[in-house]
Structure formats: C-alpha cells, structure tokens
Amino acid sequence: EAEVAQSPRYKITEKSQAVAFWCDPISGHATLYWYRQILGQGPELLVQFQDESVVDDSQLPKDRFSAERLKGVDSTLKIQPAELGDSAMYLCASSSIGRGSDEKLFFGSGTQLSVL
Amino acid sequence: QKEVEQNSGPLSVPEGAIASLNCTYSDRGSQSFFWYRQYSGKSPELIMFIYSNGDKEDGRFTAQLNKASQYVSLLIRDSQPSDSATYLCAVNMLGGYNKLIFGAGTRLAVHP
C-alpha cells in the first residue's frame, strides 16, 4: 500500500539551530500539505502545495519557516532558527487532487521535533 | 469561536459499549467531513468520511451529519480497548483548494 514517507522520525535540536524535514508524497498525488501538531491540539496547516506552487501559507511563520517543492514531488520544510515553541509533531500529508471538497488526506508518520 | 470544536474528553466507556463522539463546525457552507483516529505518538489515520446529511455506516463505525445544526458525530459500536485513541474531526472549508481544518480531538478510553 502506498504511503507518505517522512524523515527523520525524531529530531532533537538546540534553540537557534537550523532544522529540516523531508517528505515524499504518495506517487501521483499533486497536493502536499505540511501540518504542525502541538501536544494536546489538532493538526494546524502550515503550508499547502499544488504541484510545485504554494496555494496556502497563511499560517506559516515566514520569518523562520520556509517550504519548497521544487519539482512538484518531494518537499522540504525548514526552520531557522528553531525556538523552544517549535517543539511539536510535523506532519506531511498528500491527496491526489487539490480542488473539490471530497478529497481525502493521507498522512506520513510525522517528525517529532524537540527544541532544547 | 473555533472553526471546529470537539470535547477534549477523556470519554471513558466500558468494553462492548457504544462510544459517541461529537463535533461542531462554524462554516455553514462546509461540504465534507472526516474522522481521523490518532494513537499516542502516531500520525492521524482516516477512518470515516461523510458528505451528505444522515448516517453512514462502515463496520463498527457510524458517522452522522446534520448540516442544518452544523454537527457531525462518530459512533463506535462494541467498543474495544484497541479503540482507545484520540479521534480528530476534520472539516473541509469552503474555497478553491481542498483545505482540512481539524478540531483538537476527543480522547477515548475503552476499559475492559
């Protein structure tokens, strides 16, 4: 069964360091999402790509976060510099089409980030 | 007002009972609704989706939707200890691109 691949599974970093997460969506899925989930809360959308284009980054803290999907396939999310409040689970998800209200998202295993 | 609201729980039910999980949403124009199950330390897993008013059944799970009341629920029949998890309600917001907004989740505990 096709899966969304994410790495690393866990990341521990110190405050002010740079950190990067990688995601490879299900083959053929044009839409890719990055969500952040703080313990005890639901996932919050950070950025959404349709192919290589960003279609929603309204909740992305752009002073320290960046995301790219250069060839419209895999994607990287970067934080620089990391802050203590960035400790969370970072989830990547994909879906096969971007438009329409009935599309289902499938999540990768996530990256658990701890900032010390 | 949050866009998607759920009672955080924990909801505790005995094994074999029916667990009822509820969710309300603010966007009256929302058209599609999803339930995800999330075990501790794991990522969310899609278990049900519903688009039309009424009930939709899949095995032990039933999703119920009432768009007039902006309310969606998930019933789990014959609850098992393995059902103990956090259940996330997600709503597709109006707009050009598919965008899921999640509630904070309800923690379910099924005790033997």
Name the phi and psi angles at B65, rounded to 5: -130, 135
Among A48, A56, A108, select the one facing B43 at the smallest CB separation.
A108
Sign of CA dihedral B19, B33, A1, A43: negative
- The CA distance from A103 to A37, in Å, is 21
What integer is the mean pLDDT of A40-45?
94
A32 closest CA partner among A91, A80, A87, A88: A91
Q: Using a CB-CB distance cutoff of 8 angstroms, which residues of chain A are in contact with residue B49?
A: 102, 104
Interface test with A, best of B27, B32, B43, B45 (most A CBs within 10 A): B43
Q: Please name the residue that has the structure tokens 């997460």.
A: A21
Question: Could you tell me if A24 and A74 are in contact, meaning their C-beta atoms sit under 8 angstroms apart?
Answer: yes
| pLDDT for res A85 | 95
Per residue in A57-112, pLDDT (tens digit) is: 999 999 999 999 988 899 999 999 999 999 999 999 998 865 555 578 899 999 99
* Counts of helices then strands in chain A (DSSP H, E): 0, 11
What integer is the mean pLDDT of B58-75?
96
β-pair partners for B102: B90
